[in-house]
Chains A and B, each alone.
Chain A
Amino acid sequence: MIKKAFLGLSPSQIHYEILPVHLPETEKIPAPKSITLYHPLIDPYNIPSTLGIGDSVKIGQKLTLYTDERQYVISPISGRISSISPYTGDFGKNFVAITIARDDSEAFDETFRETIQTPSFELLRDYLVGAPGAPPLETLAKSNGNIKTIVIRGLDPDPMVATSQYIAQSRMMDLEKGIHIIKAVTDVQDIVLFTAGETVQGYGHIGARVAGVKTQYPAALPPMVMKDVLGQVLLAGQTCEEQGVCFFSAEAVISIGSAFESGQIPTAKTVTFIKKDGSRKIVETCIGTPIRYILEACGETVNEFDRIILGGPMTGSAIYALDHPVGPDTDAVMVVDRDKAAYASDYPCINCGECIRICPAKIQVNMLVRFLEANQYEEAADSYDLYSCIECGLCSYVCVSKIPIFQYIKLAKYELERAKTSEAANA
């Protein structure tokens, strides 16, 4: 996937790995004895006692801490709640980790099946937010009809990850059904499926426009797709949703499709498992399965100081515990050997210009990083295009000084957002 170029006239290129025509077999991993679900928490100091340890749950049962809010999780197994504890995710996001111990009753919750006769957007929103692929239904609901186009990813944004690609190619029937339902329950009629340029054939009947993108990273990142496929430049500082485009992964669409087909909320998450040697395996496991369990099932050994990454090598995030569960949006689990992982250094920028040459957003990264290192985030945003960043990570990838530029950028955006929120609160 990543080849170190000998010649350096053009910047190094990272290509998406396209799956072979004969798709690899998925390995189905059985549900473990206990699973963990992350329920969003509104107030970290106050966990409502709606759910209690020992409560019995059924497959497909909706578990919610708040009776008057929309947050919920769907239990993928039947059993009893064995623990409820707070959990803090990346950038201070708060969750409650609900652990469910499996029993062998395999009892189904029928609430969803009883209501699917008339598919409606509210029904989707009530049951499928946590389905595999994490359909962005809340985003769609909050846009107040602003969304004009739904883009379905048939190619994963991160190189090496193959989940969306795999699903778009192997489950076309469900995809078609999902597109049909989305069209029926939302006002959005313009649905675009994009996939790697060379695999664009064969989607004729799907019910959506089909477009091919280049196989060179970061062509499948949302801002690049907007630019190349929709011909719409993402304005600096705006989100895709603000500009009327909502991104669905192929898996999110098939979750919707198969939920209405079978009357059960899907719980099997397709995950690309990337081993230390770079080989990949498509595995299917239930949401909430601890990463440790997948590692064991795939026969991968993890040593001290290795890295486990949820997501791909360019934009994923590292986890610190093997008990971390697979979430609805965990498209890949990657193990990086401690000797092969990239390390950051405290060298200053030497102005070599590699980042400038590779930046797809044409940002003056060399100048930007100087401001970010000095915590001058506002200046960075005003004068050096912080908000134009599409977060591809290529600048960090090529940096000869090994400056964690990508992390600086994400931190700066987070800090500015935080400052804005607290200013608004104190205004």
Chain B
Amino acid sequence: MEEYLPELARRMVDGFAVTLQLLGWSALFASVVGAALAAMRVSPVPPLRAFGTSYVNIFRNTPLVVLFILAVEGLPTLGVIISFKWFAIITLSTYTAAFICEALRAGINTVDVGQAEASRSIGMTFRQTLGIVVLPQAARAVIPPLASVYIALTKNTAIAAAFGVTEATGKLSNLIRDFAPLLYASFFSIAAGYIAIVFVISGVAAVLERRLAVAR
């Protein structure tokens, strides 16, 4: 036991450091791509709308593990040789962007169409309409679904354990191998780590929601 605890602590720090890297980069890229996709889907340009819709339909409907296999097994055959951590980040971002797009679009749809019509009628461009009028109002409505997407992303990072990345879940496999009798202790410690991350995300979401709330 005195050997186990320091080892557990050390491996949890190592493992969750990687999990947080996966989560941070994927959340960033997915948010940028997702926002662009949402803008395409609500834009007045038909080819952009079609592209946005196709992206969402393809990547939201493909199991994440299949995307992982395509990236990790396929991209290297095309000459893309990067670290497995970046394969995981690319895959997670590609997949999560579709969900971010839909969460944002749902928020945009909560803003009455009259608002957009009014801003267009006073001569605002599409960019201004979206940026100054619609998105600030939509932001309020998207916080709960966006928090869910980021929480799902946190848990999805665990799939990387089967694709060459030793993150928290990979460390759990190693702990089970090295300390077989302490299976439950290892399991609950790693689970607690994920719960802590999820608590932070939902906490931030709750604060934002309260800040942005207005009486209507």
A and B, one complex?
A: no
Residues of A bordering B, CB below 8 Å: none
Chain B interface residues toward A at CB < 8 A? none
